[in-house]
């Protein structure tokens, strides 16, 4: 989808997502909280002084993830090609930093962030542009920092159902974890790995423990591909 098409979803984004996943009995906030918890866990495991990290959320949309990230890191910035979405993100999260992205280049200096993350964004990027997208993540991540790319797991049938029901996923090209890891490696990230999550529809500690035990298997609804800069 183009930036203009995403602009049109500025005010209807949550309703569209909740409708697409209504068969699960869960709301979008459940998935957002799980992503925030996982990102914090990954940072704590792999990054010294993780709570002092500067985080960039690439393709942040209207900033729905950011209330779940607030207070976990020193700073959070977000960018998106949709100017309308960024306008709403600024209104709802006035304490955070936002910018509109131009196609093909992120509006930040080299090495500006400790963590660069993109949550369910790459499947909207044309496949021919995936390497350039990964290269931009690498450019804005400082040496020793991390990239964390969260994507839908194409091997999970319920994920495919949710994507098929979501009107702004009509152009989605889902990437398996192995593909995303190879893209990160090709962009210059090292020690690439992936963990699958959202296997159990519960945020209880036991459920999260079970998810971690099976994170190497492509079972969860989504996965995080990780690379070290």
Structure letter (DSSP) for residue 169: G
- Token pair belonging to 178: 């192995």
Q: What residues form DSSP beta bridges with 223?
A: 151, 196
- In this predicted structure, the answer to whether residue 138 has a pLDDT above a threshold of 60 is yes
What are the pLDDT digits (tens) for 155-213?
999 999 999 998 878 889 999 999 999 999 999 999 999 999 998 888 788 878 888 88
Hunting for tokens 């607030």 — which residue is that? 70
Distance CA 54, CA 224 (A): 19
- In this predicted structure, the answer to whether residue 1 has a pLDDT above a threshold of 70 is no
Average pLDDT, integer, range 104-120: 96
| CATH assignment of the domain containing 116 | 3.40.50.150
Is 0.75 surpassed by the pTM of this model? yes
What pLDDT shows up at residue 110?
98
What pLDDT shows up at residue 32?
95
Distance CA 89, CA 100 (A): 11
**CB of 127 closer than 8 Å to CB of 134:** no
What are the pLDDT digits (tens) for 70-108?
999 999 999 999 999 999 999 999 999 999 998 789 999
Using alpha carbons, list the distances in angstroms from residue 114 to 23, 107, 110, 172, 226: 37, 16, 11, 28, 13
Distance CA 20, CA 16 (A): 6
Q: What percent of the chain has pLDDT over 90?
A: 75
Its domain, for residue 216, covers: 3-228
Q: How far apart are the first and last CA of the chain?
A: 29
The torsion angles phi and psi of 158, rounded to 5 degrees, stand at -70, -30
Distance CA 62, CA 119 (A): 12
Q: How many domains does the chain have?
A: 1
Q: Which of 72, 84, 69 lies closest to 33, judged by CA?
A: 69
Distance CA 65, CA 29 (A): 8
What are the pLDDT digits (tens) for 41-79?
999 999 999 999 999 999 999 999 999 999 999 999 999
Q: What residues form DSSP beta bridges with 105?
A: 102
């Amino acid at each position: 989808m183009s930036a203009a098409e995403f602009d049109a979803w500025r005010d209807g984004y949550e309703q569209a997502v909740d409708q697409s996943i209504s068969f699960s009995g869960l709301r979008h906030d459940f998935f957002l909280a799980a992503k925030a918890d996982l990102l914090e866990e990954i940072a704590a495991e792999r990054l010294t002084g993780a709570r002092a990290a500067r985080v960039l959320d690439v393709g942040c949309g209207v900033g729905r993830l950011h209330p779940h990230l607030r207070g976990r890191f020193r700073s959070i910035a977000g960018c998106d090609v949709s100017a309308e979405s960024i306008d709403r993100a600024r209104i709802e999260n006035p304490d955070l930093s936002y910018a509109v992205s131009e196609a093909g280049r992120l509006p930040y200096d080299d090495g500006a962030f400790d963590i660069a993350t993109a949550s369910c964004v790459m499947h909207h990027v044309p496949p021919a542009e995936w390497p350039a997208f990964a290269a931009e993540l690498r450019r804005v991540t400082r040496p020793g920092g991390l990239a964390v790319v969260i994507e839908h797991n194409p091997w999970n049938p319920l994920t495919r159902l949710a994507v098929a029901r979501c009107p702004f996923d009509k152009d989605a090209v889902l990437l398996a974890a192995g593909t995303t890891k190879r893209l990160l490696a090709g962009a210059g990230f090292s020690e690439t790995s992936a963990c699958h999550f959202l296997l159990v529809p519960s945020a209880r500690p036991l459920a999260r423990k079970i998810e971690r035990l099976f994170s190497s298997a492509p079972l969860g609804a989504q996965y995080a591909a990780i690379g070290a800069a």
